[in-house]
């Protein structure tokens, strides 16, 4: 295994390039699961997915099958989906309601929603004089070491020590603030549907793509052109095409050089904010009505601030891509070194007019559904990337675009002005990766 061959992971990463094994080696993947996905704060889900006591959702954190469950006192718990008796998985469904307690399907041990043992059939006669019983914590379902939530978004860390959720998220908190502030009631709620799509590639290939401003006009040219044709046709007929056409045609009309107008702001944890205004303030009646509800809730000045936030999306390391202006996010669940599941959710702005929900829904369906006309071509490239990297045709992946021109201040790295296509985010992610994989936190 590679771990023995090159034990020093920092050797895999140079400032402007990384070794291909970072993406393809099974030993590297195992260590990533341990050091990154089972250590850092990982997104579990939104509190509104489990509104009632006993509601649960299964979620995979690293290699660990977990349950996010709502307790009777309203608290959300995250537990290992495993019975402490003989190891049976507790819930076999992806989601549901467990009732007043968990009951194992094998021998009927029961547990409270926070994982504490409730009862064992004939406990007195069966366990008297043994080390097992109500007082032994090993008879309870194991809980995630740490669980915290921010504005309804629940995260868990499987490591006892480390920064708090807020410390870890740092500047990327803006993803949740931006999403929730856009709601007149200051909150979002889940749209109860999760699109799940499997990518045949390493999880980091997806992360890098999320911040890759060079690729849209190349990868998505065909969709951009087709949407632009139809957009023009609709405009000719009715004067105005729906906003979703504009979002798709941008792949063709925003030529490759213009993507340099974007900017990335990269943080030491590996997070990245991609700025670039999404153009969501057309002067149509729906938007004006929405602005009015925001003014009523927050006042004119604050409304301008909220709608003026200049974010395309935020990548929270190591696996959450949040598109806050359109209220959607994609959570990355690595399944293996060359298989990655993405779970894609959409949120409703509480108190906003229906038309605003429909607008982001149209984007969710077009871009993120399993029949997407956009990500289909990304997934094709991800597969090809993984195939190419698995070969001996070369040892390195290059991240040298605009290298040396980044602007660094207090550990925060910004792509230079007019250099939005800089590979700064990839360089930054890999720097963080090497740190996590080594001994440092």
Partner 1 sequence: MKTQHEVEQFLYRQAELLDSKQWQAWIDLFTDDGVYWMPPEPSHRTWEGMPAIFAEDKNLMRVRMGRVLHPDAWSQRPLWGTNHVVSNVVIVKSSTNEVQVRSRFHMMELRRDDVRHYAGAYTHRLKKTRGGYRIKLQRVDMTNAQAAYDYVLQVWV
Q: Which residues bind ligand FES (CB under 6 A)?
A: 83, 85-86, 88, 104, 106-107, 109
Tell me the residue number closest to Fe ion, measured at CB: 378
Shortest Å distance, C-beta 209 to Fe ion: 6
256 binds partner 1 (CB under 8 A): no
The Cα–Cα gap between 410 and 408 comes to 7
The reply to whether 400 sits near partner 1 by the rule CB under 8 A is no
What lies within 8 Å, CB to CB, of 196 at 6+ separation is 341, 342, 343, 344, 370
CA–CA dist 332, 376 (Å, integer): 17
280 scored as a contact of partner 1 (CB under 8 A): no
Question: Is the peptide bond prior to 223 cis by the omega test (within 30 degrees of 0)?
Answer: no
Whole-number Å distance between alpha carbons of 243 and 255: 19
Shortest Å, Cβ 93 to partner 1: 11
64 Cβ partners below 8 Å, 6+ apart? 38, 80, 158
| Binding residue (CB under 8 A) for partner 1 from 171, 214, 226, 400 | 226
Taking alpha carbons only, the member of 255, 333, 278, 287 closest to residue 60 is 333
The span of 44-52, 85-93, 303-311, 378-386 binding partner 1 (CB under 8 A) equals 378-386
Under rule CB under 8 A, how many of the chain's residues touch partner 1? 40
Residue 346 as a binder of partner 1 (CB under 8 A): the answer is yes
104 binds, among Fe ion, ligand FES, partner 1, none (CB under 5 to 8 A by kind): ligand FES
- Can you tell me which of 3, 10, 136, 222 binds partner 1, judged by CB under 8 A? 222
Residue 227 touches partner 1, criterion: CB under 8 A: yes
Is residue 197 part of the contact set for partner 1 (CB under 8 A)?
Answer: yes
Nearer to Fe ion (CB atom), residue 68 or residue 207? 207
Q: Is 93 in the site for partner 1 (CB under 8 A)?
A: no
Binding site for Fe ion (CB under 5 A): 378
- The residues, ordered by sequence, that sit 6+ positions from 411 with a Cβ below 8 Å of its Cβ are 267, 268
**Is 390 one of the binding residues for partner 1 (CB under 8 A)?**
no
Q: Minimum distance between the CB of residue 227 and partner 1, rounded to whole angstroms? A: 5
Q: Which of 341, 362, 309, 48 is nearest to 185 (CA)?
A: 48
Q: Is 196 in the site for partner 1 (CB under 8 A)?
A: yes
Cβ proximity of 274 and 171 under 8 Å:
no
Comparing CB distances to partner 1, the nearer of 153 and 382 is 382
Closest CB 64 distance from partner 1, rounded Å: 18
Residue 240 binding partner 1, by CB under 8 A: no
Q: Which x/- pattern over 355-374 shows residues binding partner 1 (rule: CB under 8 A)?
A: --xx--x--xxx--xxxxx-
CB 216 to Fe ion: min, Å: 6
89 vs 214 by CB, closer to Fe ion: 214
The end-to-end CA distance of the chain, in Å, is 24
In residues, how long is the chain?
Answer: 441
Residue 155 is encoded by which pair of tokens?
């995260």
When asked if residue 253 is in the footprint of partner 1 (CB under 8 A), the reply is: no
* Separation of alpha carbons 13 and 10, rounded Å: 5
By beta-carbon proximity to partner 1, the closer residue of 153 and 364 is 364
Binding at 195: pick from ligand FES, Fe ion, partner 1, none (beta carbon under 5-8 Å per type):
partner 1
Q: Which of partner 1, Fe ion, ligand FES, none lies near 293, with the C-beta cut-off 5 to 8 A by kind?
A: none
Query: How many C-beta atoms surround the C-beta of residue 121 within 10 A?
Result: 10
Nearer to Fe ion, 108 or 218 (CB): 218
> Under the rule (CB under 8 A), what is the footprint of partner 1?
191, 193, 195-198, 200, 219, 221-223, 225-227, 229-230, 233-234, 245, 248, 341, 346, 354, 357-358, 361, 364-366, 369-373, 375-377, 379-381
């Amino acid at each position: 295994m590679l771990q023995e061959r090159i034990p020093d992971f920092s050797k895999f990463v140079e400032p402007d390039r990384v070794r291909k094994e970072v993406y393809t080696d099974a030993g590297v993947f195992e260590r990533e699961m341990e050091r990154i996905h089972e250590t850092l704060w990982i997104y579990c889900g939104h509190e509104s997915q489990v509104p009632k006591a006993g509601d649960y959702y299964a979620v995979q954190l690293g290699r660990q099958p977990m349950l996010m469950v709502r307790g009777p006192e309203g608290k959300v718990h995250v537990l290992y989906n495993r019975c402490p008796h003989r190891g049976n998985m507790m819930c076999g469904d992806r989601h549901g309601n467990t009732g007043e307690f968990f009951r194992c399907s094998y021998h009927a041990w029961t547990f409270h929603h926070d994982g504490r043992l409730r009862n064992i059939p004939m406990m007195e006669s069966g366990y008297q004089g043994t080390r097992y019983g109500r007082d032994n914590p090993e008879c309870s379902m194991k809980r995630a070491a740490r669980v915290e939530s921010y504005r309804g978004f629940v995260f868990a860390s499987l490591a006892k020590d480390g920064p708090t959720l807020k410390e870890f998220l740092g500047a990327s908190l803006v993803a949740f603030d931006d999403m929730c502030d856009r709601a007149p009631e200051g909150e979002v709620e889940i749209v109860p549907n999760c699109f799940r799509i499997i990518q045949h590639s390493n999880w980091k290939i997806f992360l890098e793509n999320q911040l890759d401003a060079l690729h849209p006009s190349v990868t998505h040219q065909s969709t951009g052109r087709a949407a632009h044709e139809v957009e023009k046709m609709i405009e000719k007929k009715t004067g105005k095409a729906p906003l979703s056409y504009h979002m798709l045609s941008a792949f063709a009309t925003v030529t490759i050089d213009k993507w340099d107008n974007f900017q990335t702001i990269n943080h030491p944890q590996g997070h990245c904010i991609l700025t670039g205004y999404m153009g969501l303030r057309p002067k149509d009646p729906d938007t004006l009505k929405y602005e009015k509800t925001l003014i009523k809730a927050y006042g004119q000045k604050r409304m301008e601030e909220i709608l003026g936030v200049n974010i395309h999306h935020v990548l929270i390391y190591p696996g959450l891509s949040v598109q806050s202006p359109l209220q959607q996010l994609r959570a990355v669940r690595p399944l293996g070194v060359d298989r990655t599941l993405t779970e894609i959710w959409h949120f409703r702005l509480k108190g906003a007019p229906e038309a605003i929900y429909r607008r982001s829904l149209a984007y969710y369906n077009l871009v993120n559904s399993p029949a997407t006309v956009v990500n289909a071509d990304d997934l094709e490239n991800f597969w090809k990337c993984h195939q190419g990297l698995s070969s001996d045709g070369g040892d390195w992946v290059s991240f040298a675009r605009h290298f040396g021109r980044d602007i660094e201040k207090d550990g925060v790295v910004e792509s230079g002005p007019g250099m939005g296509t800089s590979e700064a985010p990839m360089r930054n992610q890999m720097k963080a990766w090497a740190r996590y994989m080594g001994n440092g936190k």
